[in-house]
Amino acid sequence: MPRGKGRGRGWGASMTASAQQSPPVVFNPPSPAPVQSPPPGFVQRSATGRGRGSSYEPKIAVVGAAPAPTPRPTAVCRYQIPAKVLGGVVPAYKTKVVCNYLEMKIQPLKVYRFDVTITPDRPKKLLPKVFTVAKGIKFPKQVISFDQRKNCYSLNPLWTTSDERCTVHVEILDDNDAKMSFEVSWKKTGVVDLGTIINHMKNHGTSLSTPMEAIQCIDVILQQGTLESYVKAGRQFFKRPRNPIDLSAGLEMWTGLFQSAIFTSRAFINIDVAHKGFPRQQNLVDALVNDFRLNPKMSLDGQRGVELFQQFVKSLRVKANIAGAGTRQREYICNGIVEPPIKMRFQISDANGKPVKEMTVAQYFETEKRCRIRYPELNCMWVGPKDKNIYYPMEMLEIVYGQALNKQLNEKQLSTMVREAATPPSDRLAKIKEVIRDMKYSENPCFKHFKLEIDDKFFQVDAKILEAPKIDIGGGRPVDPRRGAWQANRFLRASALESWGMVAVDVDPRNCDCGNVIQMIIRLGRQMGMSVNNPAFTKFNVTQHELRSVLMTAQENKLTFMFIIISGRDKDAYHKIKRKAELEVGMLTQCIREMTVSRRMNDQTVRNILLKVNSKLMGVNQALDNRSLPQCLKSGGVMVVGADVTHPSPDQMSVPSIAAVTASIDVKCFVYHIEMSIQTPKNEIIVDFENMMFDQLKIYKSHHNALPKKIFVFRDGVSEGQFAQVMNSELVAVHKAYARHDPSRKVEVLFLLVQKRHHTRFFMGEQNPQNVEPGTVVDTHIVHPKELDFYLVSHQAIKGTARPTRYHAVCNDGNIPSDEVEQLTYYLCHLYSRCTRAVSYPTPTYYEHLACFRAKSLTYGDRYNNADLEKKPIRLRVMDRMLQFSRMFFV
């Protein structure tokens, strides 16, 4: 080749966040494990570094040896997770459901842990093979579980001498059939006591002090038994199906499995099917032609769709295959697209690095490799280390099989993935059973060695189904949802659509009957109780460049609302329009896709659009009937809050994260105000939470002439390992923000962590694998036995298997009974403005997702300095003029 120069482990409870509000609830700590003599080369130490349990660490007896690795610091929480408060009377009936858990039994074994160092540590995908060969040479009769990175575990000490390390040299063939030499070194680092898990389950240890060392050991043992034919991606394992689904743009959908150990009052394995997009193994030119519709007989410069291809090849692993050259295939990572081989010139250097001649890539392959290039006009690919200039014609590169990419799917790929992965419950359960059969847990030698026993039947868990609330839509007759949905032919409080207009941006007028859309909006809006005038402004031939001046003209004519028909040809049209309307002009808008107008513009579609319009104009679509109000809402003075941070995809490391906080400002918990903030990438904690909550309280006070007595926070996107961080930072921020308004009074805070990123699924029964009913709650067996921790299926899945949402309280100042918290959460799922059905998690949580998406639109094209964001997050606000008309502009 040419080269130039140059996620729900622990449980327990002790006291609520405010000791003044709630007396402490203390549980007995786990009993200490019996004292044992350490094996040769080890001394006894604490399993967690805090004096709990029993473990061992190696004696440091070698002069000049590296010090033992420092344990990862554990966040110490100033609060304690509150105990579940029993009591409360909530209408519900009991039932049983099946979940995708297999019960597991573990023994209180002492497991030896070793640090594994493989030199060199590249390529990473060869490390498991290197370890297997080294283990076969040095410890052929031992059963060892390896995490494929740095740690391995065994029931035996492997060697009985006092030596700290054991080293072996091995040679293997890489993917290019070239010999590679490695040094594999084992170092004694301690003994893990699996009994700490048993003690933790028995004594209901708190979620803030789970025995992570022992749990990590169990997870590694479980992974060891995964089939070799699977490709590992995190905790998921994939294999190519016989007929993979085409996701477009070079990707195909693979199916696989997810498995994880879950410890509550019992031990389980959570098993689920997984789906992921993988690049199709093929020649790069074939991908260019078949998947991206590009012409290989000419340069890619200027060809339509080349940007999508550039995104696809970035960081893609490829093999170089020079036809007839007789050389081994070499594997590289793609850096980017460069000039065609007949134009791309480079210098060839001698052994001393001195340039001896210059030639094109085409000349090099024809003269040096005796290989004629078929597509001399097609761009070359720059591959390999970025400090080297290695170029290949695309026709000589093949996409490597089975590479898991951490790239964000485009809109079409994501839509296809969601559609194809949404399998009916019966199909999903059948796939999970097939995975379990493939795994053959009962025959796994690693499981037998570590004495893991895994049941072969799905676990049946106690559940209850909450009664749905009555929904007030006006007219004095509340409606009863049926299977999570209801009919609404009117609004509870209809708004007035008076000074409004419609424009079409970059739209073919032959495809859009805008006049018909206007008539449908007027007719159906009036049917639903809105006061709708005829439009005061219409223009159907506007370009994106002209839009700002058109909106300014409309505003000068006293218009307050604009419908905008947008083209599907510009994928960023929505972002551009919202940015102009809300940051530059101050105009409320409702976008409608051109395809919707031309293909799907019926009465139901217009009613759905009007649900959003009425909300944006500060109308109220529906509310909980007064007879259905949860007890904790009846006394009033409640502010319901949703909070989340959204992050860029893994391939966008320099793009900042967006934090959003939504808060209700009306007594019906229907109208919300949002605060948005730009902060450093990948930071899950909301850095400016105190100031955002201060502003939310200020808005609430302006509407009620008083601060709320209670604040119910639904915080999305937090994993178990971040509980302490959120409590130390964000929970404290809520109290600080309130104290800045009124330091003399403490507010009652209910702080619930909302988790959707899990693999727990429920079914009516193994023989009747249907979705469970909306309102199904599971708060026993598979959740923490003493903390306020529950799963709720609040919605009816339109397609596929319903995903429950998990809720875990980290603060409950008002000692609200668990049944009432579950009812409150379920009822808030019925107040989402965009539809007349219960959604999968509470309305404030949905709204903070919408707020984060709106912030993405408002920051479209902006660049941020992460160093500046480290010092201070940037608050993002729309024009004050628009907020005078609507707080709900984001729905």
> Quick one: 507 and 567 in the same domain?
yes
34 has pLDDT over 50: no
Minimum mean pLDDT range among 32-41, 615-624, 753-762: 32-41
62 has pLDDT over 70: no
> Quick one: 546 and 643 in the same domain?
no
- Residue 68 is predicted with a pLDDT of 35
Outline where 296-335 has alpha helix (H): 306-313
> Quick one: 309 and 359 in the same domain?
yes
- Residue 435 is predicted with a pLDDT of 87
Which of 117, 247, 250 is closest to 186 using CA atoms? 117
Tokens 């847990």 belong to which residue?
A: 441
Task: Summarize the confidence of residues 183-204 as an average pLDDT.
Answer: 96
8 A C-beta contact, residue 402 and residue 278: yes
pLDDT digits (tens, 9 = 90+) for 165-180: 999 999 998 776 788 9
> Quick one: 716 and 822 in the same domain?
yes
HEC profile for 332-387?
EEEEEECCCCCCCEEEEECCCCCEEEEEEHHHHHHHHCCCCCCCCCCCEEEECCCC
Q: Tell me which of 399, 417, 450 is where a domain ends.
A: 399
8 A C-beta contact, residue 333 and residue 384: yes
8 A C-beta contact, residue 564 and residue 505: yes
pLDDT above 90 coverage of the chain, percent: 73
Structure tokens at 872: 């201070």
Has residue 430 been placed in a domain?
Answer: no
pLDDT digits (tens, 9 = 90+) for 306-365: 999 999 999 999 999 886 555 567 889 999 999 999 999 988 877 787 888 899 999 999
Q: Tell me which of 563, 583, 616 is where a domain ends.
A: 616
CATH of the domain at 647: 3.30.420.10
889 has pLDDT over 60: yes
- Residue 324 is predicted with a pLDDT of 58
DSSP per residue over 667-711, as a string? TTS--EEEEEEEE-TT--S-TTHHHHHHHHHHHHHHHHSS--SEE
pLDDT above 70 coverage of the chain, percent: 90
How many separate domains does the chain show? Answer: 4
Structure tokens at 785: 């036995």
> Quick one: 608 and 745 in the same domain?
no
**What letter represents residue 617's amino acid?**
L
**What letter represents residue 804's amino acid?**
P
Q: Which domain holds residue 49?
A: 25-79+107-174+186-225
Give the pairing of strands 710-716 and 236-239: unpaired
8 A C-beta contact, residue 452 and residue 104: yes
pLDDT digits (tens, 9 = 90+) for 272-315: 999 999 999 999 999 999 999 999 999 999 899 899 999 999 99
Q: Which is more confident, 498 or 44?
A: 498
Minimum mean pLDDT range among 42-56, 155-169, 431-445: 42-56
> Quick one: 218 and 162 in the same domain?
yes
Has residue 787 been placed in a domain?
Answer: no
CATH of the domain at 610: 3.40.50.2300
Has residue 416 been placed in a domain?
Answer: no
3-state secondary structure of 615: helix
Contacts (Cβ under 8 Å, ≥6 apart) of 513: 597, 601
Task: Summarize the confidence of residues 3-29 as an average pLDDT.
Answer: 36
17 has pLDDT over 70: no
> Quick one: 832 and 694 in the same domain?
yes
Burial 634-671 (b: 16+ CB within 10 A, else e): eeebbbbbbbbbbbbeeeeeebbbbbbbbbbbeebbbb
Burial 867-879 (b: 16+ CB within 10 A, else e): eebeeebeebebe
pTM: 0.88
φ, ψ dihedrals at 75, nearest 5°: -65, 125
Cα→Cα distances 557→131, 500, 501, 551, 560, Å: 74, 10, 11, 10, 9
